[in-house]
Structure 1
Amino acid sequence: MYKVKGKPWAYSGAIDVSDCATAKEVMLKAGLNFNVAKCELVGKMPIKLTGTDEELDRIIKEQKEGAHVFDTDIYRKCDNAFATYRTDYNIPLGVVKSKYTIVQNNDAFNFFDDAIGKNSAIWQTAGFWRNGERIFVSAKLPNNILVKGDPVENYLVFTNTHDGSGGVKILFIPIRVICQNTLNAAIRTSSNYVSFRHTTSVHNKISVAQEILGISKIKSEEFGQYCNLLANIKVTDEDVIQFIGENILTEDEIQRLKDTGHTIKDIAYRSGLALTDSKISSRKMNVISDTYSYYFDGPGQRDILGTAWGAVNAISGYYSNIDNIEGTKRFDSICYGDKSRKIENAFALAEAL
């Protein structure tokens, strides 16, 4: 029996803001109503005080040049290095360069109001990592997709960093309702997200992000057409095994299977000999075997067996519902990281089935 884990941004610790009507209410409820500022970064270095005249003269000279001495340490400003910090508690968040431009949480939420329609966003969850180094908000778009009568909901996820580790990212993510599978797909040359670095032009880019994304209608229609195309492609069980293996194994691993007289099917059926001869890891064997089992028995799979749509949902279902990663790591991996790329690759491979 498979457990449906839910949307990756609804992890334990994220704040449910579905009862909020405005961006301002979301910020207050999720604790995101704080501002970030940039300050000079100072290096703290220990000094040994022996009390000699030469040493005192050197310290006086260094103080005249901008250094500060406190107790047994000397402090100097670091060139072209700054720190970001929360202005409410004066908590440092990260180290950045001089060209780094802060995007305040208020600006991020105003983007959502502008993109979806003033005060009409269907808010889902919001939150921040640790002290506020990263923040996110998710919202449901009003236009759903039907794939052969199978409902798929569309979401936007906005993430922003205040610690210099990344930029602003706006992600379009469809979720299959029956199983809560995350369906990241870069349709042909159209990406499912946009990202901006924290430079002086970032605010202008955010203001036109809805045009870049083709938010809601265009992306939703593209994705719906693509999924219905996959639902009409008929596949055999052998096709599905090959498809799963090509998504998980490297080209070298597939070649080693061939060279040793084995197939991906042998791995899917947990052949110890195939595993030993090909030197494929037992972890990958388990992923392939479990994904193939999910293809038949996972939530919502029975009605889409024998189609490329069913094959894709086996991949997305494994990473959405079986993989044991949890919390913010699951959010990161499924939305932006390795698991996201696996799901995107599944969609790219599926059209060739």
Structure 2
Amino acid sequence: MGHNLNFNERTGKYSFFSVQEKAWHGLGQIVTDYPTSKEAIIHAGLDYEVIKTPLFTRAQGMGIAEDGTVMDGSEIEVPNNFANIRSDNNTVLGVVGKDYQIVQNNEAFSFFDAIVGNADGILYETAGALGQGERIFITAKLPGYIRVGNGEDVTEKYIFLTTSHDGSGSITAAFTPIRIVCQNTLNASLRSMSNVVRIKHTTGAKQRLADAHKVMGIANTLSMELEGIFNRWAKVDITDKDVKKLIQLALCPNKETYELLRKGETDQLSSVFTNTVEDAFAYAMTSDTQQMDTTKGKLFGAYNAVTGFYQNVRKFRDDEAKLQSIVMGGTAQGRAQKAFDLCTDFAKEGTAIFPFN
């Protein structure tokens, strides 16, 4: 897969760091100990500010302005539009409106520090910048674990944050559990709450960003709920046939495909969908992490079949596309949520949830 990591010409390094693990595509910095937020900013090459400056264009040909001055290719300020510029190299990162409020890189890290009340409670694991530095991302590990079964199947708790300086998208913070044995991102939202907080880059964004207890509340509530749910699923038996049905429903892309499944007209299904289902089912049946007591023939394994397929099998255009799909509300996250909802219903109702034989 390709990468879109920013190369910082000032330092001669890629803007990315990782703790102990191999850096992204062998690029960036590997550090042995978890850094403080101030150290992480430097390791990741994020020690620059973004400046909001007036935007100008040039007059075309000769003309007379309202005040009577002659316009002969001179600069004209574009009203209510501004350029966001990196302070260290004057690169234009994007064009924004008058209400856009910059959230500096160090403020994003301060948000993490505030989550648990002090800088010692959170472990910065990766951070970096994409493109010209217009998008940054941070992953940080929270204290504690989600333990399934006898405690050997462990899921770590992370918060992921991404923000942009180009005017596209919101500041996004998400609670993201990751199953250690296979690095599955077990994205799931309860029907009563989301695992994501989105904050617009408008007036008041800094104040809302500082309201970090909301994200910590999500992390605490979801981690406790998910530990109970996953442990129940690890005791619910499911046949291989029903695993495949669950995968088909979770990956179903549209109503037409759903109707074909319901009618049993599998020969009419697209080859793309059929092959995707077969690949996910093969992962469910053969992956080492699917042979554990918590997953083999168990509903927890059926859920992991979908999340693990996207994390470990599915090919993406590049790492940024994978990040978008799995963590930032893309297709993979939507399919994982569908699988979570199906498993929730299966645990209550069994095969009654499946509309086809």
- Give the TM-score, by structure 1 length: 0.83
Matched residue SS, 1:169: strand
1:43 counterpart residue number: 57
Larger radius of gyration: 1
Following superposition, the deviation at residue 257 of structure 1 comes to 4.2
Which residue identity lines up with residue 345 of structure 2 in the other structure?
A
**Equivalent residue in structure 2 for 1:224, among 220, 224, 227:** 227
Q: Deviations 1:67-101 (Å, cap 9, x if unpaired)?
A: 864xxx45422222212111221111111111000
Q: For the residues of structure 2 that align with 1:306 and 1:20, how far apart are their CA atoms?
A: 38
Q: How many residues align?
A: 319
2:195–2:218 CA contact under 8 A, matched in 1 = no
Following superposition, the deviation at residue 226 of structure 1 comes to 1.8
Show the 5 A alignment for 1:181-200: 181-200=184-203
Show the 5 A alignment for 1:194-273: 194-214=197-217, 216-249=219-252, 250-259=254-263, 261-263=264-266
Matched residue SS, 1:127: strand
Q: For the residues of structure 1 that align with 2:54 and 2:324, how far apart are their CA atoms?
A: 30
Distance 1:257 1:222, change over 3 A: closer
Following superposition, the deviation at residue 335 of structure 1 comes to 0.6
Which residue identity lines up with residue 34 of structure 1 in the other structure?
Y
Show the 5 A alignment for 1:307-346: 307-325=298-316, 326-336=318-328, 337-346=330-339
Q: For the residues of structure 1 that align with 2:173 and 2:307, how far apart are their CA atoms?
A: 20
- Higher relative CO (CA 8 A, sep ≥ 6), structure 1 or 2? 1
Which residue identity lines up with residue 349 of structure 1 in the other structure?
L
2:279 is the alignment partner of 1:290? yes
Which residue identity lines up with residue 123 of structure 2 in the other structure?
I
Distance 1:104 1:66, change over 3 A: farther
1:67–1:76 CA contact under 8 A, matched in 2 = no
2:100 is the alignment partner of 1:100? yes
1:333–1:340 CA contact under 8 A, matched in 2 = yes
Following superposition, the deviation at residue 219 of structure 1 comes to 2.7
2:95 is the alignment partner of 1:114? no
Segment of structure 1 superposing worse, 115-124 or 322-331:
115-124
Q: Deviations 1:124-147 (Å, cap 9, x if unpaired)?
A: 111001111001111111110111
Distance 1:290 1:283, change over 3 A: same
Q: For the residues of structure 2 that align with 1:14 and 1:21, how far apart are their CA atoms?
A: 15
Q: For the residues of structure 2 that align with 1:44 and 1:298, how far apart are their CA atoms?
A: 60
Following superposition, the deviation at residue 211 of structure 1 comes to 2.6
Unaligned stretches of 5+ residues in structure 1: 1-5, 48-54, 264-273
Following superposition, the deviation at residue 25 of structure 1 comes to 0.4
1:350 counterpart residue number: 343
1:16–1:126 CA contact under 8 A, matched in 2 = no
- Give the TM-score, by structure 2 length: 0.82
1:174–1:184 CA contact under 8 A, matched in 2 = yes
Unaligned stretches of 5+ residues in structure 2: 1-17, 347-357
Q: For the residues of structure 1 that align with 2:308 and 2:70, how far apart are their CA atoms?
A: 58
Distance 1:170 1:192, change over 3 A: same
1:19 counterpart residue number: 33
Distance 1:91 1:308, change over 3 A: same
Q: For the residues of structure 1 that align with 2:201 and 2:339, how far apart are their CA atoms?
A: 32
Q: Deviations 1:272-312 (Å, cap 9, x if unpaired)?
A: xx1xxx2x322211110011111111131012122211101
Distance 1:204 1:212, change over 3 A: same
1:15–1:127 CA contact under 8 A, matched in 2 = no
Which residue identity lines up with residue 257 of structure 2 in the other structure?
E
- Percent of aligned pairs with the same amino acid: 35
1:17–1:30 CA contact under 8 A, matched in 2 = no
Distance 1:243 1:45, change over 3 A: farther
Distance 1:44 1:223, change over 3 A: farther
Q: For the residues of structure 1 that align with 2:191 and 2:332, how far apart are their CA atoms?
A: 19
2:47 is the alignment partner of 1:33? yes
Q: For the residues of structure 1 that align with 2:143 and 2:177, how far apart are their CA atoms?
A: 12
- The CA RMSD over aligned residues, in Å, is 2.5
Following superposition, the deviation at residue 63 of structure 1 comes to 8.9
2:128 counterpart residue number: 127
Distance 1:327 1:109, change over 3 A: same
1:156–1:171 CA contact under 8 A, matched in 2 = yes
Following superposition, the deviation at residue 33 of structure 1 comes to 0.8
Matched residue SS, 1:214: helix
Q: For the residues of structure 2 that align with 1:133 and 1:195, how far apart are their CA atoms?
A: 18
Distance 1:27 1:212, change over 3 A: closer
Following superposition, the deviation at residue 118 of structure 1 comes to 2.2
**Equivalent residue in structure 1 for 2:167, among 131, 146, 164:** 164
Which residue identity lines up with residue 251 of structure 1 in the other structure?
K
Distance 1:16 1:164, change over 3 A: farther
Distance 1:37 1:262, change over 3 A: same
1:41–1:77 CA contact under 8 A, matched in 2 = yes
Q: For the residues of structure 2 that align with 1:155 and 1:65, how far apart are their CA atoms?
A: 60
